[in-house]
Amino acid sequence: MTSAKRETKYVFVTGGVSSSLGKGLTAASLGRLLKLRGLKVTMGKLDPYLNVDPGTMNPGEHGEVFVTDDGGETDLDLGHYERFIDEPLTKLSNTTTGAVYSSVIAKERKGEYLGKTVQVIPHITNEIKERISRLGAQGADVVIIEIGGTVGDIEIIPFIESIRQFRHQVGKENVCYTHLTLVPFLGGSKEHKSKPTQHSVAELRSMGIQPDVIVCRSDQQVSHDMKHKISMFCDVATSAVISAIDAGSLYDIPLLLHEEGLDAIVCETLGIDLDEYPIDLALWEKVSQQAHSASKPIRIGLVGKYVTMPDAYLSVYESILHAGFGSGCRIEVQQIDAELVPSTFSAEFLDQLDGIIIPGGFGERGIEGMIEAARIARERGIPTLGICLGMQVMVIETARNQISMTDANSTEFNSSTPFPVIDLMSDQVNVTDKGGTMRLGAYPAMLEAGSIVSGLYDAPVVSERHRHRYEFNSRFKDQFEAVGMVCSGLSPDGRLVEFVELNNHPYFVGTQAHPEFKSRPDRPHPLFSGLVAASIKRSDARENRIFNIDTLQAGS
């Protein structure tokens, strides 16, 4: 006789006092700990902004847009979730206020509410609960959902009310409320202060939610006495007050939270038997150890448009670090503003790097600097990985300087260029909805046997995630291959170029996709591993050269 299927459990992670305390990383770390116990975990985020999704938001302000296999343009926290729990997420994992209201209004227009007055309660809250339930219906043992913003923000009130109601809907035993808050350490008095936490929890309780677990963010370990005080004033068990101190690496956080007992108290709250699901930390201890044991410094320059906002390239940064873990190298990323190439970042400056990444982006700003960086990298043999727009500027540079197409360009930047080596697909049209012409989500590519990328992937067919409008113009393919730029990966119908690489170069590889979205700390992405391997060779070949990269200036 088969045993009854376990009911899906839900963990809701809220935050108080201040933004940017690390709700996403705390949620992701908890997800990894539960997965290390053998539980099937999925994750999601409820975001309070009115955009339907982050797709049209400025990465210089909001950070990167993370793309799922099914083409969801989502919040960057989903990148943390995937990297930590190593499970592919979907569009269902990201819900915004804009998406909720858009759906409710569409239903009202179709008459689905039978003429009733449409209100926040019950219609908006029901829509939110329905989306949570759909995520839970995917078969996970535990669903972890982060609520964006902080308790007290007017924007998140419908989400808080929805998760309050949700506990009644699925049963108290199936929900754990985890609240992340700030416990500041004041240097003057040399002690932690619990008042911000007390006020935050009081605010949450005034909205009908009593937290089961309180995670205390601080730069110093929260003492047992302070935990006891928070326990008394906030009505939680002392064992449910978790100290979350600053970590040396993101990948230390699960281990630190496990030492504090976070996964144990969450399992206890949800009625999950710890003896039935013992934890095996070996895999993650190895990740943490690799993050700290890397010694050989490798300098990788990131030539981008949004370098003043590190989160704009978050997955790229993490992916290059993962590749460093796998090779025992300490990656030092040099941020290079594309608009300052070559005026500030000269050819001599770039030549001192061990490798270069030219990442994705939209719009004309900084393009000529990226093209110049690609030229310098090609001519000086600097290992280079071009991602999406990065691949396109590699193609433009090669056309201009190797094929004598002086005015070659993308029609994104010059619609009247005589050599549109990058262009919209023929079946694409301009529409007012900025997402309407995008190629989004996972697409397969056939790799050319014997190519660099085929060797790196060790597979004839691969799938990568995309987010772009413009493509390599295949009618110029023969001219590129004649000068050594091989189109080494094509769509199954042969129409779209997915990978290019340059012969007789240490590593000059471009992909139309975004491989950074599939890199994992214990499984680096092959394209980033290839870049690091080539960069190590370049570094080894120049080991006797002594220089200080910070002193190199334009024209030096």
Domain spans in the chain, listed from the N-terminal domain onward: 7-285, 294-540
For 246, list phi and psi in degrees, rounded to 5: -60, 135
Q: Return the pLDDT at 392.
A: 97
**Distant-in-sequence, close-in-space partners of 125: CB < 8 Å, separation ≥ 6:** 158, 161, 162, 165
Question: How far is it, in rounded angstroms, from Cα 373 to Cα 544?
Answer: 25
For 499, list phi and psi in degrees, rounded to 5: -140, 140
**Distant-in-sequence, close-in-space partners of 500: CB < 8 Å, separation ≥ 6:** 391, 394, 395, 472, 480, 485, 486, 487, 488, 509, 510
Q: Residue 547: pLDDT above 80?
A: no
Residue-wise pLDDT tens digits, 128-162: 999 999 999 999 999 999 999 999 899 999 999 99
- Higher pLDDT: 546 or 369? It is 369
For the segment 116-136, the average pLDDT, to the nearest whole number, is: 95
Residue-wise pLDDT tens digits, 501-527: 999 999 999 999 999 999 999 999 999
Burial class (CB in 10 A: 0-12, 13-18, 19+), 170: middle
- Higher pLDDT: 427 or 523? It is 523
Sorting pLDDT into bands at 50, 70 and 90, what band is 309? confident
Q: Return the pLDDT at 548.
A: 52
Sorting pLDDT into bands at 50, 70 and 90, what band is 545? low
Two structure tokens written together for 473: 């113009």
- Strands (DSSP E) contained in 381-496 are 384-387, 409-410, 420-424, 439-447, 461-468, 470-472, 485-490
- ∠ CA 357-500-305, rounded to 5°: 30
Q: Residue 3: pLDDT above 50?
A: no
Question: How far is it, in rounded angstroms, from Cα 234 to Cα 211?
Answer: 8
Q: What is the mean pLDDT of the chain?
A: 91
The region of weakest confidence among 56-70, 196-210, 226-240, 243-257 is: 56-70
User: What are the residue numbers of the active site?
Assistant: 388, 514, 516
The region of weakest confidence among 61-65, 111-115, 280-284, 316-320 is: 61-65
**Distant-in-sequence, close-in-space partners of 327: CB < 8 Å, separation ≥ 6:** 529, 532, 533, 536
Among candidate residues 528, 464, 513, the one with its CA nearest the CA of residue 322: 528
Give domain 7-285's CATH number out of 2.40.30.10, 3.40.309.10, 3.40.50.300, 3.30.300.30.
Answer: 3.40.50.300
Sorting pLDDT into bands at 50, 70 and 90, what band is 428? very low
Residue-wise pLDDT tens digits, 29-56: 999 999 999 999 999 999 999 988 888 8
For the segment 527-534, the average pLDDT, to the nearest whole number, is: 97
Q: Return the pLDDT at 555.
A: 37
Q: Residue 364: pLDDT above 70?
A: yes
Q: Return the pLDDT at 544.
A: 53
Q: Return the pLDDT at 502.
A: 96
Sorting pLDDT into bands at 50, 70 and 90, what band is 244? very high
Q: Return the pLDDT at 5.
A: 61
Hey, what CATH topology would domain 294-540 get? Rossmann fold (3.40.50)
**What one-letter code names the amino acid at 505?**
H
Decide if 7-285 and 294-540 have a common fold. yes
